[in-house]
Chain A
Amino acid sequence: MTLKEIKEILEAEVITGHDRLDQEISAAGASDLMSDVLAFGKPGILLLTGLSNSQSVRTANIIDAKAIVYVRGKKPDQEGIELAKGKNIPILSTKFLMYRACGLLFSHGLMGIGVPGA
């Protein structure tokens, strides 16, 4: 699924990374807890989060996430936006709540991160 499709499914606003919407995303993970993202995140994922401070962008960069979707209409602060621009991490913002945003993407075929033993 491309970021452009994700944008359409989530009726999302593109905050930064308009020129990278053709990127393919094959898995996603969602959490407001950055330690969980650091523990279970995988390179190349889409990160859905409600945590809009710049730590969310730093965390996405650390795990090599491909893009971030902020739920519930949240947007990162200016520092987060600048960091995302510098690291080429597209940022989208959807008005949907976390559960619905994840459900919509999953029902359109975007898988979660594999958990060992599950």
Chain B
Amino acid sequence: MPETAMSDENSFSQRFEIRGGDFSNAGKPSTSIKETLQEIGIDPAIIIRASIASYEAEMNVVMYAQRGSLTLNVTPEKLYLRLEDEGPGIENVELAMKEGFSTATEKMREMGFGAGMGLPNIKRNADELEIFSQPGKGLSLDITLYLNSTG
């Protein structure tokens, strides 16, 4: 369940905590976000793109970071997803954006992830993706989807 959910007439937001290494709960926040977007009547094509980006970003936190958070913010024009984590960050963002590049462990691969598709998948589904990496400290991702276009 979201830690906080706030709304006013112009925006709606939800925030979830993510625990690093917690594979059994991985994906629950993104599943919940998908339900929320369905409830508020977002275009199904945008919901799928947002859900995929959210899920991949969430898995990144579970796989690599100690802890993190996922915040959804929806305005009449845009849908934002902000992922913030405390973890190793990414040393070379350009390299991490290449499909197939991965530093995943065997355990991550057993879960069906860690094949170097995460960030490229997020970028493909987002209208805008901003990556702020502080190697050794953490990573944040700002994912934006415009609600009035199909991207």
Contacts and interface: CB of A to CB of B under 8 A. Distances in A.
A50 to B, nearest CB: 10
B95 interface: no
B115 A35 contact: yes
Contacts of B44: 43, 64
Contacts of A34: 111-113
Contact of A58 (B27, B120, B121): B27
Contacts, number: 72
A62 B115 contact: no
What is the predominant secondary structure among interface residues of chain B facing chain A? helix
Interface string B118-133: 1011001000000000
Given A39-B117, A55-B26, A58-B27, A63 B112 contact: no
Interface string A12-32: 000000000000000000001
B96 to A, nearest CB: 13
Interface residues of A, number: 23
Contacts of A53: 23, 110-112
Given A54-B24, A55-B27, A63 B111 contact: no
B74 interface: no
Given A59-B55, A79-B24, A32 B112 contact: yes
B112 A55 contact: yes
Contact of B112 (A35, A43, A64, A79): A35
Given A43-B48, A54-B24, A64-B48, 20 more contacts: A33-B117, A34-B112, A35-B115, A36-B115, A36-B117, A38-B52, A39-B117, A39-B120, A49-B112, A51-B112, A53-B110, A53-B112, A55-B112, A55-B113, A58-B28, A58-B31, A59-B55, A62-B27, A62-B31, A63-B48
